[in-house]
Structure 1
Amino acid sequence: MGDKQPFTQTIPYVLVEKASNQGVYQEDTIIAEERIALYLNGSKIIATMSIPKDQDAHAIGFLLSEGVIESIDDVKNISIAPDGLSVYVDAKINPEHLQNLYHEKTLTSGCCVGVTGNFEGKIIEKFIATQMQIPIGWVWELLESFEVGNLLFHTTGCVHQAVLHFLDGTSIHAQDIGRHNAIDKVMGKARLARKDTTQAVLFVSGRLSMEMVIKAAMHDIAILISRAAVTQLGIKTAQMLGITLIGFARNDKCNIYTHPSRILLDQTHTQKAAHTTDSCYLTSR
């Protein structure tokens, strides 16, 4: 499995093959998983199962995703306990959204602990007005770099990755066992670095269900790409919020499900979409 990576441990196991029905002792590299508690203004608000890495970014990304804080400027202080299992944030908060987080949690398909909050009109208006276009060739370049850049996945086979690719050529990476955690972490890193996420494309490894699309919308992401599948509600939500949703980006192919005008294709080799609106199911390459 190669050299041991941080946040992993090596454990023994028995490999059994049908051809021989005999066991062979081997070793495997397993990802670490811990319960991380988030304290906001002195009160514990939630605990997540995640990799004990980038805990501060995870906390900031989560609070922004849920609308509990409006911007990174609302954060007064952030610290991590010595054991890495608790994160403490002091911040100016939106009390209404915090109460929704406490009382109106909706269990989603996002790895069992995804939570949806309030996501109303201001996002829709913002994304209707968003203008960004990238050439399809850039998607292929992002796909290639995404597949070779996730060392922790290649070591363990057990993590999701989220990558923000900015139009200036820079990128930010984050990994976690939960696909929603990976998004929160990469967004938190971007906010802590004062990066403008309106100038970035988000590439993720997990399926794009409704809450994944909403997380992208909460951080002003106009183009969301995944190697995995999309869900019906994910497509509906992306169409409503004005997000370009791309799934199955692998093996030199991708499916553009909504708002395809942001992806600049070679028109001489592009079949006419089945729909005349800015919502379609269009396979590229």
Structure 2
Amino acid sequence: MKAKTFLAEIPCIVAYKDSNTFDTKKDIIITEERIALYLNGTKIISTMSIPIDQDAHAVGFLLSEGVIEKIEDITNIHVSDDGLSVFIDSKINEDNISNLYHEKTLTSGCCVGVTGNFEGKITEKFISSQMKISINKIWKLIEEFDSSNELFKLTGCVHQAVLCLENNKYVKSEDVGRHNAIDKVVGKAKLNNLDTSSAILLVSGRLSMEMIMKAGMHDIPIIISRAATTQLGIKTAQMLGITLIGFARDDKLNIYTHPARIVL
């Protein structure tokens, strides 16, 4: 696959309130593309996202939706030369893929997402992980998360997702959509055969129900966000056994569910 840029320099006029003056500059912006996903030769969906880590994005999305049940079911992954199409051959769950075509739910995403996995096995599971983490370690992770988001500092236009795994391994992804960022980071982990059942997921965006369910599909026991969560997000985390932390910024954080994993 040829490398495809996702940054562009665009001229703009800057207005300054205090001095009531104007200036010209070149602004660095994100370029998003429509990426098509083909599964077993059939196009199933297109997403608007940054044209990077397209294979991980596709894998993460399909695993999160339960269309592909485990990474070992995938027999082939190919990204087109222009970076705008992903082709996957895999054993699939026919019931779950039919949900994608059946009744779609428009999610409360910054870039409107689509999901079909709100019913079924995900609502029946409970993550009983005995994982513990100290509050001091959480503060350290938040500090590292904030300092590592270079693309946001450059453009102000992306969400970030980071998986903190055992043995100090980290997986990171960024995208214009917060759902995309999570799918990408999970896809990267699964493509590298990394276990997410003892992972901590840090995200920059708000935590609505579908974000929690994505984590639940991969048995992630702890989610931390710099932003807010919704009432249904909290309810879903409580139901799935996920420790949910929001507003992790400015020297404070809110622990909403399953606080026993946090050691003071």
Same topology, TM > 0.5: yes
Contact (CA 8 Å) 1:78, 1:90: kept in 2 or not? yes
Give the Cα–Cα distance (whole angstroms) in 1 for the partners of residues 10 and 75 of structure 2. 41
> Partner of 1:186: helix, strand, or coil?
helix
Secondary structure of 2:146 counterpart: helix
| Whole-Å separation in 2 of the counterparts to 1:44 and 1:178 | 21
Cα distance per residue 1:7-48 (max 9 Å; x no partner): 211111001123444321111100111000000011110000
Larger of the two Rg values belongs to structure: 1
Instruction: Give SS of 2:167's match.
Output: coil
Counting only pairs closer than 5 Å after superposition, residues 19-30 of structure 1 correspond to structure 2 as 19-30=18-29
- Residue 78 (structure 1) aligns with: 77
Matched, 1:221 2:220: yes
Displacement after TM superposition at 1:223 (Å): 0.2
Residue 184 of structure 1 is matched in structure 2 by 183
User: Contact between 1:110 and 1:211, CA under 8 Å: does it hold in 2?
Assistant: no
Structure 1 residues without counterparts, runs of 5 or longer: 1-5, 266-285
Contact 1:127–1:222, Cα closer than 8 Å, also in 2: no
1:263 and 2:241 equivalent?
no
Moved more, 42-51 or 130-139: 130-139
How many residues matched? 260
Q: Tell me: CA distance 1:149–1:184, structure 2 relative to 1, closer, same or farther (3 Å).
A: same
Letter in 2 for 1:59: A
What aligned pairs does 1:130-279 form with structure 2 within 5 A after superposition?
130-265=129-264
1:153-202 deviations in Å (ceiling 9; x for gaps) = 11101000000001311100000000000000000000000000002100
Q: Distance in 2 between matches of 1:165 and 1:232?
A: 26
Paired residues of 1:105 and 1:116 also in contact (CA < 8 A): yes
**Aligned-partner Cα distance in 2 for 1:60–1:113:** 19
Q: Is the 8 A contact 2:203 2:224 kept in 1?
A: yes
CA contact under 8 A between 2:122 and 2:213: conserved in structure 1?
Answer: no
Aligned identity (percent) is: 67
- The CA deviation at 1:142 is 0.5
Residue 33 of structure 1: aligned partner: 32
RMSD over aligned Cα atoms = 1.4
In 1, Cα distance between equivalents of 2:24 and 2:154: 19
* Corresponding residue number in structure 1 for 2:117: 118
Q: Distance in 1 between matches of 2:141 and 2:31?
A: 28
How far the C-alpha of 1:121 sits from its partner, in A, is 6.5
The AA in structure 1 aligned to 2:51 is P
Which consecutive residues of structure 2, in runs of 5 or more, have no partner in the other structure? Answer: none
Runs of 4 or more above 6 Å deviation: none
In structure 1, the residue matched to 2:47 is: 48
CA contact under 8 A between 1:238 and 1:258: conserved in structure 2? yes
Q: Aligned partners of 1:49 and 1:86: how far apart in 2?
A: 12
Shift, 1:239, TM fit: 0.5
More off after superposition, 123-132 vs 149-158 = 123-132
1:131, distance to aligned residue in structure 2 (A):
1.7
- Superposition TM-score, scaled by structure 1 size: 0.88
For 1:269, the equivalent position in structure 2 comes to none
